[in-house]
Each structure stands twice: as C-alpha cells, then as structure tokens.
Chain A
C-alpha cells in the first residue's frame, strides 16, 4: 500500500493496538505506531517531491460517489510537521505521563487519544471531500476535548466542556454549509466544486463553513475557549493542541476558500476576516503580556499567531505578474503555520519540563532556570525567535513574504499589524526569558535527562532551519498549489 494510505491508517491502528496491550506496554506500542507514521509521512514527502501530488481513490470509486485522498505540497508539509511534533510529544509523554507521575487514568487515556488526534489530522490534511473533512474534524475535536479533560481536575473539566460547546457549534455551522453546498451542486468533492456553475447560495454556504471553521481554529472572536483549554491539559497534550489541532481547521479553511470556491470570495468578506485576524494578533499579544502563568502566556500567543494566518487571505494575488517576488502571501502563511507548529510545541514541552522537574508554573518561578536547565532554556529562546518573527527563522520568512505581499496588494496596514504583532511577541516572550536569565541560587530541580531536553530543542531548531534553508520547503509547498493562491481571491 502507498505511504498516503499508511499515513492515515498507521496511527488509527496504533490507537486500537494500545488499547488491547497491557498498560505498561502502551508507550512502546505507541512509539512504534509513531515511528511508522513518521516513516509514512517522510516517504510520502519524498514521493510528492519527486512525482508531484499523489492521489488515492478510496475503494476505487471516483467522485462524486467515491472519496479521493490527495497529497499535495501543502497537505504533505503539514503532515511532516505534524509527524515531527507528534514524535516529539510521544517521547516527552513517555516521561511526563508515566502512571506514577500523571496518575493511572491520564497515563492510560493519553496514548490512544494522541494517536486518534494524529489520525484525524492526517485525514484532514489529505482529504478533498467536504464531508470527509467534517468527519476528520469531528474526530479531531472529540479526541482533543478528551485530552483537555485528561487531567481530571475541576478546571480541566470546565475548560473541556467549554471547548466542546464551541467545537460543536463550529461543527454545526460547518455542517450547515456543507448541506447547503450539496443541495445546490450535488457534490462535495473540491475539484468538482471548483468547476461548478456558481449558485446564489454559495456565499451563504461559504460563510457558514468559514464561521464554523473559525470557531474550531479559535480565531478571534471565537478564541475564548482556547487559553483555559490549552493551559489545563498536560504539557505534551497542550503541545499538540496548540501546535497542531488549530492547523487542521486552518487547512480546511484554506482549501475551501482557495480550492473549492475561490470565486465566491467577496472583497468585503475577505477584509472583514483579515480585520478579525488583525484584532486577534493585537488582542492575543496584549493578553499574553499580562498573564502570570507561563502556559497561559504560550496559549495566548497561539491566539495571536492564529490571527496572522487569516490576514493572509486578502493578500494573495495582487501585482504578482509584474513583481514575482511578491507572490508569496499564501506560501508565507503556510511557512508561518509550519514554523509556529514546531516552535509552539517546543515551548509547551519546555514548560512541561519546568513544571514537572522544578514545579515552575508562574513566570516568577522561572528565575534561575537558565542555569539549572540550560538546554531547555535555550530551546525556549529559539522558539521565541521564531514566534517573534525574527530572522533567520521560518517565522521571519513567512512574515516577510506576507508583508511584501501586503505592500504590493496596497494593504499595508496589515503589514503594520504584523510588525506590531512581532514587537508584542518580543515583549511577552521577553518576560519569561528575562526571568530565566535572572540569578537565583536557591533553585532546585529534579534531574532531567538530556534526551528529554533535546526533544524541544530539536523542534525549535527545526523551526529555525525552516527559515535558513527556506528555498527547498518553499518549492515543496508550491507542489499542487491552487491557482487561486497565485492569482488572488
């Protein structure tokens, strides 16, 4: 079978397998499944890079009856990023969710849920059928909500409940859009929708789907569930919740707008969306600046970072025929999303190490940790460079491409927002960094193995490497890039 199939099946089989083996064997089996999925993702990337987009017709049926899985540059890049993050999460969870530390319930529940999240993510990354995407998204939301509730505390349950309500509302909105689309066009396949005869209800359908997806992505103003949920989960779970889960709905949003109905996009709607994104960048940044708990700082930073992605929507196209260097809004956003995933997971994993080894939860507890755990502090600093969009990280590449596009499209206020967001990020990340660097002799930490500290460092370094060697990833992402991403919406 092809890597494309394994990408979806390996984590799913793993999720089932961990349930039937004895509890003490769960991490080993899960790591095996993780290795298989990582291998599948890398093999798929090699195939896509060499041969172009890969397609599988499920059961041999063609659309509209059957369902198509298609791996293009965008989906595969996200799948590879997810595989790296998930492997890191699995390695970290082996320590942090050991039964003697996290309790038997969390230790038991984490592994199947993690693999389910992964399977759902990969399904979303390679699906082109609106309903198949719905199923993937639901599976993702349910597993994610369960992960939030894993800690079992009152706050965790409350955060999970709030998350569930937002997620369900989002699902219903999205589903309503899907139903509208089907009743108008009789198909849910994106390639066929692109070639459809536009109908009057298309705008409404697109609006409903967008609203639903925004709620699931925690885009402003639907972000209120995210910080408590991400802060309540165990750190390895927060890492994937923050780094990966919003990316799934983001990818669907991208696909719906650019691959299914680019013609239904109105200028006003695009500007409203991007405006919301701009507010998210500023609001999330300001909120991150006033938090006391390190995990909440990181979580609000996710709210801010998600805003950048949606700003990119009106920036595509523009004058790109005359100014080829400016055609990068879409690709820049993907760059930003990929490096955010790597850096954000590194941050949460580091926060997990600090909490479990040193009991540090608040910013002021971080004093002196740079000396006690230098590798993890360095990982945090590298991740901060990416999130603040400083060169030479992938975050910088993404922001640079988007800002360039903003100027050429004549929408420079969005570039201003991006610059302001970068400064805000530098400011809110400076607080933990300064605390880390301060002197404190009294700090006492349990020993942390080098491997465990190396995992977040590797993830944070990957985000930097994405910027230093951006030429290769750039051309990879462009494989199978939709026309609308070049011409603009």
Chain B
C-alpha cells in the first residue's frame, strides 16, 4: 500500500462518514459538520489526484482546494448562523426536525 492508496482510502472514509451523517443525523449542527466531512474527503481526494504520474506534483488542485476550503468555510458559517438564529426564535430546544417538516398547511 503506497501513500496514494492511503490518501484515497482516507478520502473515501471521510466521504462515507459524511454521507452517513447527512442521512442519519437529525440535528442541524451535525448535518453542517457532516457536510464539512464530505467536503474534506473530496478535497483530500482532489489533492491525491494532483500527485498522479509520480513525477512532481500538479499545483492546480492545491490552488483549487484552497479556494474550495474558503467556500466551504463560508457555507458552514452561514449554516451555523441559520441554526443559531432559528434556535433563538424557537426557544431553548435545539432545532431537530423543525426545518424539514412539510410546508405548513398551505393547500386549498
């Protein structure tokens, strides 16, 4: 098992964990974290893709990963801010299912 395999395996593990979290976690904060896990896994994989061929390292993925991390950070911050704002309005209980309940009665 060479270094690339280790990277690929860890990337897959991260993505898998993240997807599990997205599907299984009800708590919104956990979902935001799960999103970050998947993102990290993808970035790791992307970085590994830059080392293909063995001669030198392709710098483009690294540049893109940095951009991607910034984007993910912004998305997470927005997510957390929404969770907090929602929690403030809904009282001390943390928002479990609330945002995903079907649209309030709006049928004729």
Contacts and interface: CB of A to CB of B under 8 A. Distances in A.
| Direct contact between A and B judged by beta carbons closer than 8 A | yes
A160 B82 contact: yes
A149 interface: yes
A227 B82 contact: no
Contacts of B94: none
Nearest to A183: B49
A432 to B, nearest CB: 12
A171 B79 CA distance: 14
A44 to B, nearest CB: 26
Query: How many interface residues does chain A have, given as a range?
Result: 35 or more
A476 to B, nearest CB: 33
A290 B67 CA distance: 44
Interface string A152-173: 1111011111101100110110
B75 A171 contact: yes
A161 B78 CA distance: 9
Of A131, A171, A172, A179, which is in contact with the most chain B CB atoms at under 10 Å from its CB? A179
A158 B99 contact: yes
A175 B85 contact: no
Contacts of A157: 82, 85-86, 89, 99
B45 A179 contact: yes
B57 interface: no
B60 interface: yes
A106 interface: no
Query: How many interface residues does chain B have, given as a range?
Result: 35 or more
B51 to A, nearest CB: 10
Contacts of B39: 172, 175
Contacts of B79: 161, 164, 168
Interface string B92-108: 00010011110110111
Contacts of B106: 291-293, 296
A428 B85 CA distance: 35
A469 B96 CA distance: 53
B13 interface: no
B4 to A, nearest CB: 11
B78 A292 contact: no
Interface stretch (A138-146, A253-261, A307-315, A380-388): A138-146
Contacts of B85: 149, 152, 157
Contacts of B82: 145, 149, 157, 160-161, 164
Interface string A125-148: 000000100110011011001100
Given A134-B68, A165-B35, 20 more contacts: A131-B64, A138-B75, A139-B71, A142-B75, A142-B78, A145-B82, A146-B78, A154-B89, A157-B82, A158-B86, A161-B83, A169-B35, A171-B75, A172-B38, A172-B42, A179-B46, A182-B60, A291-B106, A292-B108, A296-B106
